Amino acid sequence: MCGIAGVMYRGSDATFGTGEALIRMLDGCQHRGPDSTGFALYAPEASGRLKLRFFIDPESETDSDVAIAEIRQRLVDLGAGIEEEARAGDNYRVTILYDGDVQKLSYEMKHAAKVISIGTSLDIVKDVGSAYDVDDRYHVNQFHGTHGLGHVRLATESDVKPEASHPFWATGFADVAIVHNGQITNYWKMRRRLEQREFEFTTDNDSELIAVYLADKLAQGVKLQDALSTSIDDLDGTFSFLVSTGDEIGYAKDRLAAKPMIMYEDDDLVAIASEEVSLNRLFPGKALNTREPAPGTYATWSRSI
């Protein structure tokens, strides 16, 4: 059992307190996943720049300063110009100037360190502990952006560690992230098909598979809404998931509908979560006209109304 949440502010070029909004939503459903918490945060970025975030393992035999120096050198060797860099918690975040192949860059960098996310607008923050624990380490509440996803995790099939936490970035593709509640039972079949086309994975998590599957569709020119439609047929299992790109957010729900999802929408925003209590945290004391997506459905929203 896990909890998912997503929010998009619409119809404006302004940025909003998406970090604080997602903290509130995830705190509302923290009982669904006390082991770890994560955020996929989106904010506009200048053209030609990429944001990369890496996990620096504090238990590694390699000193953290040495590990960061190796990352910096690998980036330079790949033709990237380092613009900004910072340490936060066990993360190293760097903004680079880069006009090359993002897929090649990401595959090369995952051999140098544990890549959490790459994107022009995407930045993923995740770690063990509650929403407020992660906020204390990474100051998520200070983030202002356009939209984002969140996840609270109950570890059932893998260790309680930051790299096993959600959200997952679509390895090899910029700006695609996913949060997922459920299990994909044809995981290895789907993964082998993608690996035969030379796609790479950093984990054995089925959520990463969904992200890469959808990102591949988008790279082929398929609209996100159509990619979500085919995912309901192609993916076996029980699932409710949210996906985000640089300018869209969407959901898909399997036909059995065993995993809960509820949403609220008005002219200013769309918010989706596993439980209504998460939506109520955004509008305390307000009666919301919410609805539960039907089994086997999908939908997308963009920032323009």
The pLDDT tens digits of the residues spanning 36-71 come to: 899 999 998 767 899 999 999 877 777 888 999 999
Residues with active-site annotation: 2
Q: Considering the entire predicted model, what is its pTM?
A: 0.94
Measured from the Cβ of residue 175, the count of other Cβ atoms closer than 10 Å reads: 24
The structure tokens 């945290």 sit at 281
Q: How many helices (H) and strands (E) does the chain have?
A: 8, 15
How many percent of the chain have pLDDT more than 70? 95
Topology of the domain comprising 45-120: Alpha-Beta Plaits (3.30.70)
Question: How large is the average pLDDT for residues 284-296?
Answer: 93
Chain centroid offset of residue 43 CA: 13
Alpha-carbon distances, residue 38 vs 49, 215, 281 (angstroms)? 23, 20, 18
**How open is the CA angle 7-13-16, to the nearest 5 degrees?**
40
pLDDT at 157: 62
**How open is the CA angle 135-141-146, to the nearest 5 degrees?**
125
CA-to-CA distance for 255 and 294, rounded, in angstroms? 8
Topology of the domain comprising 3-44+121-302: Glutamine Phosphoribosylpyrophosphate, subunit 1, domain 1 (3.60.20)
Q: Which of 44, 15, 5 is nearest to 246 (CA)?
A: 44
The pLDDT tens digits of the residues spanning 73-82 come to: 999 999 999 9
Q: Which of 107, 114, 122, 103 is nearest to 43 (CA)?
A: 122
pLDDT at 1: 72
Domain ranges within the chain, ordered by starting residue: 3-44+121-302, 45-120
Answer whether 128's CB lies under 8 Å from 90's CB. no
The pLDDT tens digits of the residues spanning 103-160 come to: 999 999 988 889 999 999 999 999 999 999 999 999 999 999 999 999 998 666 667 6
Contacts of 238 (CB under 8 A, 6+ apart): 182, 183, 254, 256, 258, 259
CA-to-CA distance for 24 and 179, rounded, in angstroms? 17
pLDDT band at 272 (very low <50, low <70, confident <90, very high): very high
Chain centroid offset of residue 209 CA: 13
The structure tokens 């030609």 sit at 48
Question: How large is the average pLDDT for residues 233-253?
Answer: 96
Answer whether 166's CB lies under 8 Å from 243's CB. no
